[in-house]
Amino acid sequence: MGSPFRGGPFFFSAVIFCKVLPFLFWVVLTVSAEEPREIIFCSYNLENFSEGKAPDAISPHGTKPKSAAAIATQTRIIREISPDVIGVCEMGSPAMFERFRSELKEAGVDLPHTEYVEAGDEDRHLALLSRYPIVARDSQIDLRFELNGREESVRRGVLDVTVQVNGQYRLRCVGVHLKSKLPTPQGEALIRRFEAQKLRQHLDRIIAANPKANVICYGDFNDTRNEPVYHQVIGIRGSRGFLTDLPCVDAFGDRWTHYWSTADQYSRIDYLFASPGLLPEVNPTGSRIYRSNDWNVASDHRPIFTGIRPVE
């Protein structure tokens, strides 16, 4: 009879265990070392998400109320994108912002952490919703500049929050909605340039304080990439604070984000810009423009979004 410690069942089990144990240990290490899932950041101009007394009512400041059909379409579009963080332009009152958040939650997009910026524009506000906690806030509501002897301000301010994606990763979100193309006595293009300058100064302060900061600058810049505003925002190529334009495309390869009916013009005026610290974590093929047949029911803009791997 063989020894139970050398040739019996116990010995056989011990050998198998010793062979399997290293494999199990490797599996555990591999699973624990997996990167966190890619997160989706989205930017969307909602086109006057405001209320009114009647369907055809217009506020004293010229904004038309958002229709139920537009809101329903917008909610569906955002649900299909399923963002983890979304920055929006042209948000209405705090009550409408709560409605927006609630409608998304009912649709299965629960983004409980929020920022709402009330600056000089009484009708159109910047806002952000996040799946992750907001751990720092530095939104600017009183950025001023002088133009033709008059003091002006960045009408929608600058939204600036930092979200804690996981224990090691933070994402700083800086959103804007620069002056529209509607003519003003001061010159709408010149106003945009001054607003862009104030934004660039704010970005420079962020990156000077932390050159490795994961900053995504987003929003409606109301200018195309051949205009001075674009180049002022991205900064000097090769410099520490240069921002990279994430080239979003839709399923057909089109790049336009906005249709301006007055000029019958399609253009790309909504952007996602990544800081040097963030760029390595951006999915190079994950920057998209949402496309559907009913996009214009929701807004005159199309949402843009990108994937970010939250690992330094």
Residue that wins the pLDDT comparison between 5 and 212: 212
173 to each of 30, 41, 43, 193, 266, how far by Cα in Å?
32, 9, 10, 21, 27
Does 44 score more than 70 pLDDT?
yes
pLDDT band of residue 184 (cuts 50, 70, 90) is confident
- Is residue 278 situated within a structural domain? yes
Is residue 21 in a domain?
no
Residue 214: inside a domain? yes
| 25 has pLDDT over 90 | no
Mean pLDDT is lowest, of 25-29, 100-104, 112-116, 253-257, for: 25-29
Q: Within a domain: residue 2?
A: no
Cα→Cα distances 41→38, 121, 218, 288, Å: 10, 25, 10, 10
Q: Band the pLDDT of 183: cuts 50, 70, 90.
A: low
Dig out the tokens for 128 from the structure: 């952000």
Q: In terms of DSSP bridges, do strands 85-91 and 39-49 run parallel, antiparallel, or are they unpaired? A: parallel
Q: Report CA-CA distances (Å) from 191 to 185, 196, 272, 306.
A: 10, 9, 21, 29
Interval 223-258: pLDDT, tens: 999 999 999 999 999 999 999 999 999 999 999 999
pLDDT at 11 over 80: no
Q: Report the pLDDT averaged over residues 6-10.
A: 42
**Can you tell me whether residue 116 is helix, strand or coil?**
strand
pLDDT at 31 over 70: no
- Write down the pLDDT at residue 52: 56
Which residues span the domain enclosing 293? 36-308
In a domain, 80, yes or no: yes
Q: Give CA separation, 117 vs 57, 90, 264, in Å.
A: 25, 11, 31
Average pLDDT over residues 122-134: 97
Alpha carbon distance 283, 247 (integer Å):
11
pTM summary value: 0.86
Q: Supply the pLDDT for residue 63.
A: 64
Q: What is the CATH number of the domain that holds 275?
A: 3.60.10.10
Task: State what percent of residues in the chain have pLDDT above 90.
Answer: 77
Question: Mean per-residue pLDDT for 290-294?
Answer: 96
* 24 is a domain residue: no
Is 227 a domain residue? yes
Instruction: Give the integer Cα–Cα distance in Å for 27 and 164.
Output: 28
For residue range 46-56, list pLDDT tens digits in order. Answer: 999 998 544 45
73 pLDDT higher than 50: yes
* pLDDT over 90 at 40, yes or no: yes
Over range 189-210, report the average pLDDT: 96
pLDDT reading at 197 higher than 90? yes
Overall number of domains in the chain: 1
- pLDDT at site 54: 45
